[in-house]
Structure 1
Amino acid sequence: MAATGLAPRLNIVTLGVANVQKSRAFYEALGWRASSASRDSIAFFDLGGVVLALFNRENLADDATVAPAGDGFRAVTLAHNVESDAEVDAALAHAERSGARIVKPASKVFWGGYSGYFSDPDGHLWEVAHNPFTSLDGQGRLQLPPPELAS
């Protein structure tokens, strides 16, 4: 933790899933490799500096001491940015072949980019997007402009 508060960092995104093995198989069908730290009860995927974890939904809710979420919209989406519109189309097609449900086919969007959405077996929404106003570094990480300096 930074001396003045919480450091601006995200290390792990944990998705509460109905069946860890089924969800792990889906993400592996996308071509992702589970870490050797994965177990029957949890799966970990290195996403280039951020880890995606899959954990039983009820156990995750119990761990956080909250009621388990329903199957409705969770007000969260995950995003996978690529370098072209064609890559968006290819990624969505691959996700669908891997068992995803296409929620929104790719199209030009109001903010000037191109994107579509798929859902994993538990309904977690993934946006696949090409944003012509940002770039990706050599490892595929989104590059944001630096913060504005206070005057």
Structure 2
Amino acid sequence: MVPARVSLITIGARDLPSLRAFYQRLGWAETDVSSDSYAVFRTAGVLLSLFPLQELLHDAGLSADETVQGFKGITLAINVEQPEQVDSLIEAVRTVGGRVTREPSDAFWGGRTAYFFDPENNAWEVAWNPTAVFDERGAMLSF
């Protein structure tokens, strides 16, 4: 069973400094994991992250021409509490017809991740982050 949760929305930024400055001007608070090459903002619900578009394409196992074929430059994430859940959720997604674009693998940042497209080419990441904190409902509070 895939948990019904959206923990993180990532926007593939064509100009990260400019997009980041826009959200900063809105008065949105960044988390401590933000860096020169990645920004994460707190919202009243999910976390919003900004990541360079070309790196997001690479991370999702996509080529640049897939932005023309349906990838919108935005990913939704289901963050899970245990690394093995990444693998089992991807198998569940595959079983119901999702297109896996990146098989589960260990990430350079210490977690485990995989990506899939739903039937309308909305991109989803399934990720385990060893520093993520969840509330009792399964909502991610920080990472």
Identity within the alignment, %: 35
Question: Do structure 1's residue 109 and structure 2's residue 107 form an aligned pair?
Answer: yes
Of residues 2, 6, 9 in structure 1, which corresponds to 2:44?
9
3-state secondary structure, aligned to 1:86? helix
**Aligned match of 1:143:** 141
**Aligned match of 2:51:** none
Which structure has the larger Rg over C-alpha atoms? 1
| 1:60-139 superposed matches below 5 A | 71-139=69-137
Structure 1 counterpart of 2:109, one-letter code? W
> Alpha-carbon deviation of 1:137?
1.5
**Matched residue count:** 85
In the aligned structure 2, how far is the partner of 1:108 from the partner of 1:70? 28
3-state secondary structure, aligned to 1:96? helix
> Alpha-carbon deviation of 1:93?
0.4
In the aligned structure 1, how far is the partner of 2:69 from the partner of 2:44? 28
Q: Which runs of 5+ in 1 are unaligned?
A: 12-68, 146-151
> Alpha-carbon deviation of 1:120?
0.4
Taking only aligned residues, the RMSD between alpha carbons, in angstroms, comes to 2.5
Q: Which runs of 5+ in 2 are unaligned?
A: 1-25, 29-42, 47-66
3-state secondary structure, aligned to 1:129? strand
What stretches of structure 1 move > 6 A for 4+ residues in a row? none
Q: Deviations over 1:84-123 (max 9, x none)?
A: 1111111100001011011000101111110100110111
